[in-house]
Amino acid sequence: MKKLILIFSIVCLGVTVSNAQGSLTALEYSIGFGSGDMGSYLGSPSFRGFTFQWQKLITDQTGVGLELGWNVFYEAKQNDTYTQGTASISGKQYRYQNQFPILVTYNYYFKPGEKLNPFVGLGAGTMHSLRNTNMSTYTLELTAWHFAIRPEVGFLYEFSDQTSAYVSLKYYNGLSAGDFDKTQSYFSLNLGFAFKGH
């Protein structure tokens, strides 16, 4: 965690002293699709997701900043068996998994100033996972803070000099940590708006 704080501080300092071109704020609706261990636990996509991104534009083509997100995955199982450690419980289940990424980000924009501006991005930081399996009066809970990496591809479609549509695909990968002995990962399709500031 100390390393993450140090990296974030260095990025913020670099942003402050740079010859910045402005900023970009994106508000996104996120649809999540579990993969790996999370996909095995939850087969249904998440339609309850939101992401906030803020970036300082160092040049017309590069930006660094911060991303905060939240996706809620949910699935009801009519009759299933869930195993945690040496205990197995069977019955109707309500499965939930909340994902909260907090990332330092870097984006590269290929065609700044044009109406369609594709980009690639990379995020690194931490992601909190909270998994609840509810059966009758019983709840089994797993929780962890993971080190996370998140690549992204997408595009901005400009409506005006200051407003654009924001469309992207991200892949969140949180390494095993805490109660999770396996990587927690998911894809997200993101649709929203981006606003330029000066």
- For residue 160, being part of any structural domain is answered with yes
- For residue 30, being part of any structural domain is answered with yes
Structural tokens at position 28:
């996104």
- For residue 79, being part of any structural domain is answered with no
What H or E segment, with its residue span, contains residue 89?
Answer: strand 87-109
Q: What is the CATH number of the domain that holds 39?
A: 2.40.160.20
pTM for the complete prediction?
0.85
- For residue 81, being part of any structural domain is answered with no
Q: Residue 184 in contact with residue 100, Cβ under 8 Å?
A: no
Total domains in the chain come to 1
Determine the pLDDT at residue 32.
98
Q: Residue 93 in contact with residue 135, Cβ under 8 Å?
A: yes
Structural tokens at position 163:
């407003």
- For residue 183, being part of any structural domain is answered with yes
Let me know how many helices (H) and strands (E) the chain has, helices first.
2, 8
Distance CA 140, CA 145 (A): 18
- For residue 15, being part of any structural domain is answered with yes
105-156 pLDDT tens trace: 999 999 999 999 999 999 999 999 999 999 888 888 999 999 999 999 999 9
For 51, the domain range is 2-71+100-126+149-197
- For residue 142, being part of any structural domain is answered with no
20-31 pLDDT tens trace: 469 999 999 999
Burial class (CB in 10 A: 0-12, 13-18, 19+), 172: buried
- For residue 113, being part of any structural domain is answered with yes
